[in-house]
Amino acid sequence: MTNSKDQFIEAAIRVFAARGFYGTSIAAIVADLPYTKQALLHHFGSKEKLYGEVLRHISERLVRELQEAMSEATDPRANLEITLVAFYRSALTYRDETILLMRELLDNEPRAAQSKSWYLRGFLEGLSTAVAQANPTRFPDPQAAMPLTYQLLGAIQYFVVSEPTLRQLLGADAYAAMRGRYEDDLRLLIARSVDHPSDRRETAAR
Amino acid sequence: MTNSKDQFIEAAIRVFAARGFYGTSIAAIVADLPYTKQALLHHFGSKEKLYGEVLRHISERLVRELQEAMSEATDPRANLEITLVAFYRSALTYRDETILLMRELLDNEPRAAQSKSWYLRGFLEGLSTAVAQANPTRFPDPQAAMPLTYQLLGAIQYFVVSEPTLRQLLGADAYAAMRGRYEDDLRLLIARSVDHPSDRRETAAR
DNA sequence: AAATCAACTTACCACTTGGTAAGTGGCGGG
DNA sequence: CCCGCCACTTACCAAGTGGTAAGTTGATTT
């Protein structure tokens, strides 16, 4: 079965992740598929439209997974940890897609009309709300939680996209060791950043 | 004075940061300079070699600044905060170069022979040593501090490269507010992650 | 005065790019 | 039985791409 359109998107994710939008030719995308590049153009119209569909494909999964993770809520603090760790694991599983999204962040050129708006906006709002709820004393509203939210997001994504580089830099063993510890240390970072004795006193720090 | 070679490198940083290695044509680099692309090729030989010189240029500054920041040491914990905040500020100042390095991280193709080795290796080692020293109880050796080091690095770089996207996403005002808080929240994150009651009470007042 | 050199320029070139035009074969419906 | 539609192909093309070859210019050295 596996219809050709899905094959194109799957291959496109791989190649866009590896070489970026500009570094990717449609010829390269179809190179390992049993189709010509005109078959791709037949389905998607243009390289940009294909890219747009790829972004949509990814962001839909992302939003879906976020909602699933958040629905496991027990209390706000546990909810935050569950959500972020789920996000971390998902990013590891779909590393190519994570890389692709980070490229989109860097490129800063609206290739697919709305592109960033949907996935990032909803994502950020959802997460920063969760962060704010985990420590309402420190964060009266989601906006106040934005910096910490972004810090945690960065701590997650930056590591995930660095896998090949770190593996090459540290060697396979040292990387494996680091990755083994990473999730636990991430949990610790989350817990400590939203739950600290100094938050009990209502005085402004420094 | 401003010799032409520096002009080429400066322009190259801008364009490489904006569109990546593959998305950048040497014609685009010289577009705003009073030279032809063959002048560029005369100086650097090829696009790849120019890219290599750009990486060298950046990593030299980075290492220099890291050493300067670390030499201000008083005690290990303050040292870590000073170093990381200096790194954050520097990343903001040279945002294009930060973006370019993050692209290099994503690309994972050894375009300039050693490329990643020098800047990243020394950098990571220096930082994780500083992190380990800030909490020797939790981190007996630098390697154990690698995950947290990388988390903090990610929290810094990810935000810096996101400026255009966040500005567009949140609006200029909300972004300015977020950026205003970011450094303080970063300090908090650093302090909490290396100094927490659960690491046993070896209270070092700050 | 002649030779050398760096710092460029103009002229090219082979190749790749995204995209268009014009089909071809098969298949379901009328 | 043929019509239209869909998935897909072959044939092309104009606009770039990185790079080479062969000068030109002006200052410095010999």
* Residue A173 predicted with pLDDT over 60: yes
pLDDT for the residue B187: 98
On the CB side of B133, CA atoms within 13 Å amount to 17
* Residue B116 predicted with pLDDT over 80: no
Q: B22 and A18: CB-CB below 8 Å?
A: no
Q: What is the pLDDT of residues B119-171, one digit of tens each?
A: 788 889 999 999 999 999 999 999 999 999 999 999 999 999 999 999 989 99
The average confidence (pLDDT) of chain B is 91
More confident residue, A193 or A113: A193
Strand C positions closer than 7 A to protein CB: 7-11, 16-22
B46 touches strand D (CB under 7 A): yes
Q: What is the pLDDT of residues B74-94, one digit of tens each?
A: 899 999 999 999 999 999 999
Mean pLDDT of A89-118: 86
More confident residue, B206 or B126: B126
- What's the pLDDT band for A109 if we cut at 50, 70, 90? confident
Which among A192, A194, A198, A206 is the top mutation candidate for probing chain B, defined by the most B β-carbons within 10 Å of its own β-carbon? A192
Q: How far apart are CA B88 and CA B82, in angstroms?
A: 10
Instruction: Report DSSP letters for B104-136, one per residue.
Output: HHHH---SSTTTHIIIIIHHHHHHHHHHHHH-T
Q: A143 and B103: CB-CB below 8 Å?
A: no
Please give, rounded to a whole number of angstroms, the shortest distance from the CA of B139 to a CA of chain A: 12
Q: What is the pLDDT of residues A74-99, one digit of tens each?
A: 899 999 999 999 999 999 999 999 99
* Residue A11 predicted with pLDDT over 80: yes
Sort out which chain B residues have CB atoms less than 8 A from A180's CB and list them.
none
DSSP element (H, E) containing A149: helix A142-161
pLDDT for the residue B121: 86
pLDDT for the residue B4: 87
User: In terms of C-beta distances under 8 Å and separation of at least 24 residues, what long-range contacts does A78-84 make, across chains too?
Assistant: A79/A130, A79/A133, A79/A134, A80/A130, A80/A131, A80/A133, A80/A134, A80/A190, A80/A194, A81/A187, A81/A190, A81/A191, A83/A127, A83/A130, A84/A127, A84/A152, A84/A156, A84/A186, A84/A190
Q: Which residue of B has its CA nearest to A198?
A: B192
* Residue A199 predicted with pLDDT over 90: no
Q: How far apart are CA B17 and CA A41, in angstroms?
A: 29
Q: What is the pTM of this model?
A: 0.93
Alpha-carbon Rg for chain B, nearest whole angstrom, is 19
* Residue A204 predicted with pLDDT over 70: no
pLDDT for the residue B47: 97
Q: Report, in this order, helix, strand and coil percent for chain B, each rounded to 5.
A: 80, 0, 20
Range with lowest mean pLDDT among A169-183, B44-58, B118-132: B118-132
Residues packed against strand C, CB within 7 Å: A 24-28, 37-38, 41, 45-48; B 3-4, 34-36, 38-39, 42-43
Q: A178 and B150: CB-CB below 8 Å?
A: yes
SS3 (DSSP) at B71: coil
* Residue A114 predicted with pLDDT over 70: no
Q: How far apart are CA A7 and CA A12, in angstroms?
A: 8
- What's the pLDDT band for B117 if we cut at 50, 70, 90? low
pLDDT for the residue B118: 67
Q: What is the pLDDT of residues A33-59, one digit of tens each?
A: 999 999 999 999 999 999 999 999 999
- What's the pLDDT band for A197 if we cut at 50, 70, 90? confident
For residue A4, which nucleotide's C1' is closest to its Cα? D7
SS3 (DSSP) at A98: helix
